[in-house]
Structure 1
Amino acid sequence: MARIKPQALLIQSKKKKGPTRVSVTTIVLCNLVVVLIVLSLFATYRHWSRRSVEHIGGSGLPNHVSTDGLDDSKKYDLPGFAILNTSKGYITVELFKDGSPEIVDRFLDLCQKGHFKGMTFSHVIKHYVIHGGDSQGLGAAEEWISKGKLRGQLNTSPKHEAFMLGTSKIKQDGKGFELFITTAPIPDLNDKLIVFGRVIKGEDVVQEIEEVDTDEHYRPKARVGINNVTLKRDI
């Protein structure tokens, strides 16, 4: 067999094909495809994240939803506590969502609309009740509060103990809502008051409010009232 000269081997190696080179156009197209895929995934993530936030409410508090026809799980999602920021301090109230669902629902709706912001306690009767509400209802409230103080002691209901939150049973217009906080057991309010919550923190603030100076009609001489209300699901 004839030996191949080194010069011939060099010529043959030069004739062999080198590795196929990828063109610049192909590289650019591949990069564009990758970028488009990443952008598509990011857009999809933002879309579903936004829908999730809108579903639970962007303010951190649930949007008002009527409790009529809702099952227990949906009612449970509603705030169960209200923190009254008063001119004397904070009062935390547990709401009776099961016992008085319609009243609680209306109370929550008015809270979110800012109805109680700036509400004054128009009547303060020591060892009896604190009353806040519209000026239109002052006459009627003063009458039954005064009569209630003169009545004899009756068997008390658990719902009418001290530090209970209620509203008047008297039919009010869609904008009005009276608030009452009892400062002693009130057995004679069964026909006058709908209890929808109880004070669980801030009893000392309630007692400080009932110590304010009042005139002969139980109206505080200096303004005392609610600055705002904060709703909470849990405490």
Structure 2
Amino acid sequence: MARIKPQALLQQSKRKKGPSRISATTVLFYLLILTLVGFFLFASYRHWSNRSRLQAESHVSISEGDISSADSKRSDLPGYAVLNTSKGSIIIELHKETAPEVVDEFIDLCQKGHFKGMLFHLVIKHYVIQAGDNHGAGATEDWNLRGKQHAISSMKHEAFMLGTSKGKHNHKGFDLFITTAPIPDLNEKLIVFGQVIKGEDVVQEIEEVDTDEHYKPKISIGILDVTLKQKV
């Protein structure tokens, strides 16, 4: 067997025990991988963060848009109604902010011609004039007369206010009341949804007509038609 020289054994031992060297190319490769992973994580964070912010802003924008749309729809409704009566015109400013549902119903009925030809069938001086369906007028007359005893005791319910009776209305049950004096007793009976701004003299002229013992006018006085207006 051939003998290995000591110098060759020493060199062979150094090659086995010496630390292995990592090339510069390998180091750069791993650095590039770490850089790409870090960039990907940062980009993902930015993407989801911006998406969450945009969704939140979009939700707020939609909510504000709904409110704006509702406000715009409300402002598009007619703000005034002109009651053309056989005694003259009465201009009403509608309270569409404080009684929106009643104003909506009133406008709808005006557009359908519900009030055309409607008679004022109850006239109580210094109290109220009423137009509408006079079926069952006795009950209405009763509470009107009871309220009249305490009519001028408060300013809660002003004169020349337009209202309708509370409760659900049937097709013909939307009656109209115009007060001719401050009447607090009607606060629990009527929903006020408008105010006379012109034509108080016409209301007073209707109020002064002769009536029978049941407060029914002896001559026919009615609403010829109702005109809706945005401005007057």
Q: Compute the TM-score of the two structures, normalised by the length of structure 1.
A: 0.67
Structure 2 residue 220 is matched with structure 1 residue 201: no
Distance 2:197 2:105 in 1: 21
Match of residue 177, structure 2, among 163, 175, 180: 180
Partner in structure 2 of residue 89 of structure 1:
88
Partner in structure 2 of residue 117 of structure 1:
116
- Trace 1:1-235 onto structure 2 (pairs within 5 A): 71-151=70-150, 153-157=152-156, 160-235=157-232
Structure 2, gaps ≥5 residues long: 1-67
Distance 2:151 2:108 in 1: 37
Partner in structure 1 of residue 12 of structure 2:
none
Distance 1:114 1:178 in 2: 14
Which is higher, the Rg of structure 1 or of structure 2?
2
1:153/1:84 CA distance change after superposition, 3 Å: closer
TM-superposition CA deviations, 1:146-184 (whole Å, max 9, x none): 111123644322xx2110000011443243201000001
Alignment coverage as a number of residue pairs: 165
Q: CA deviation at 1:75?
A: 0.6
Distance 1:225 1:137 in 2: 19
Distance 2:72 2:151 in 1: 43
TM-superposition CA deviations, 1:177-207 (whole Å, max 9, x none): 0100000100111110110000000000001
1:152/1:203 CA distance change after superposition, 3 Å: closer
1:152/1:201 CA distance change after superposition, 3 Å: closer
Q: CA deviation at 1:71?
A: 0.8
Structure 1, gaps ≥5 residues long: 1-68
Distance 2:223 2:133 in 1: 13
Q: Compute the TM-score of the two structures, normalised by the length of structure 2.
A: 0.68
The sequence identity of aligned pairs, in percent, is 67
- Pairwise CA RMSD: 1.6
**Which stretch shows the higher mean deviation, 176-185 or 145-154?**
145-154
Provide the secondary structure at the position in 2 that maps to 1:71: helix
Partner in structure 2 of residue 48 of structure 1:
none
